[in-house]
Copies of this chain bind each other. A is one copy, B any other.
């Protein structure tokens, strides 16, 4: 979450609904709950008696729809929406979703969460066959594949298209007469289905959005499935049976909202168990346990409970964003993270603090937080991370595509301890994560993708293989 302190970013949230009046307003409320999955752009497409209308813009959902006319224009009984996180240099409007496609005989709105591993190859092939691309993101590819499929029905065309792409993806595709939802064969990205009191069907990234719009959870979309919702209801189909559960473990560790459930496991509770397990694996003699707000509070309370140490609010997060264009003086620049976080002197002064964070990316923020605590009088700071060291890039939708900036890929634990300025440092084990999540599955790694920690990717890397090999070659990964 960008409101969090670190620079680890999800690449989108999706929300779709079919069969309810006021569909765009519902989508607005649903997306609002998914705002933590992307803050750089938002859009909603409504289906009004078979005709699609689009509204999109840069910024937070509430900014994009600040002009009430924008939602007002989106009449209809079905809608899809999207909140987007954009990687640097890729901030243009043309990438804001839902993507819009207008044909003589049909319209499509496409909302995509994830990343394809064979996008470059597909794109090159499509371009050689005359395809044109507006945006620089992967998301247009699916539409090309659908339209070029020779299958006889749209349903079959979509399946043929899905069979050609690889990687992590959750798609919503709104057409003039139905809503498709599809999930990749590993279930890397979350996607759930619910039902409104009115009978309308909702498909969205997290269960928290179902709660927000008053929908009842029906089921998680399963790997390889293609769902269709139209006026005759929800149909569940699959475009492949060659599936293997490998849910992104970072969804449990960091991305998803604590009140969401993923494959039946509550995110907050999983984090709390990670904290408890961390206490067992990495105990330390100290006075208080402090979590980095807000994402690490669950793990911190788990650690505290398991260790028997008091859980204390030693860090406060400012609730207001400090967007500013001020060119800070050197003096101000050094204060950095202090605009977002404050240490509570009355709590930490003179204490031996166990600082719990969910993960470490570059380490720069951790370093500043440690300094904040020491400046506030902490006698010692023992950093405990409720996940294993992040050492490998993600190619399925999280913004870590190089390991150069991953501190754990460059430094040993001892080096990190020193460079972060902590008195001790410990990470949760891979098995600890797997046990804490505790999915009832026989899939490898307990049904989780643990590739960021161990380099064991659940799919071939295709276009990224060469890049990855080079990363491996360069990494000083201990």
Contact = CB atoms under 8 A, between A and B. Distances in A.
Q: At the interface, is chain A mostly helix, strand, loop or mixed? A: mixed
A318 B33 contact: yes
A94 B97 CA distance: 11
A252 interface: no
18 contacts: A1-B319, A21-B329, A26-B332, A29-B332, A32-B339, A35-B319, A54-B94, A102-B134, A102-B135, A103-B127, A132-B143, A214-B331, A214-B335, A258-B344, A259-B344, A268-B344, A269-B347, A298-B313
A251 interface: no
Given A62-B322, A316-B257, A326-B25, A130 B131 contact: yes
Interface of A: 1, 3, 21-22, 25-26, 28-29, 32-33, 35-36, 39, 54, 56, 60-62, 65-66, 68, 71, 92-94, 99-105, 120, 123-124, 127, 129-136, 140, 143-144, 147-148, 197-198, 208, 211-214, 257-259, 261, 265-269, 272, 294, 297-298, 301, 305, 310-313, 316, 318-326, 328-329, 331-332, 335, 338-339, 342-347
Nearest to A264: B346
A261 B269 CA distance: 33
Given A147-B132, A310-B305, A261 B345 contact: yes
A100 B324 contact: no
B316 A258 contact: yes
A76 to B, nearest CB: 14
* Identical copies of this chain, number: 4
Contacts of A328: 25
A102 B133 contact: yes
A301 B290 CA distance: 12
B297 A313 contact: yes
A213 to B, nearest CB: 8
Contact of A140 (B132, B265, B272, B325): B132
A134 B335 CA distance: 36
A301 B25 CA distance: 37
Nearest to A342: B259
Contacts of A258: 313, 316, 344
A65 B60 CA distance: 18
A33 B269 CA distance: 32
Given A32-B320, A320-B62, A342 B131 contact: no
A322 B66 CA distance: 10
Given A212-B339, A259-B342, A346-B268, A133 B320 contact: no
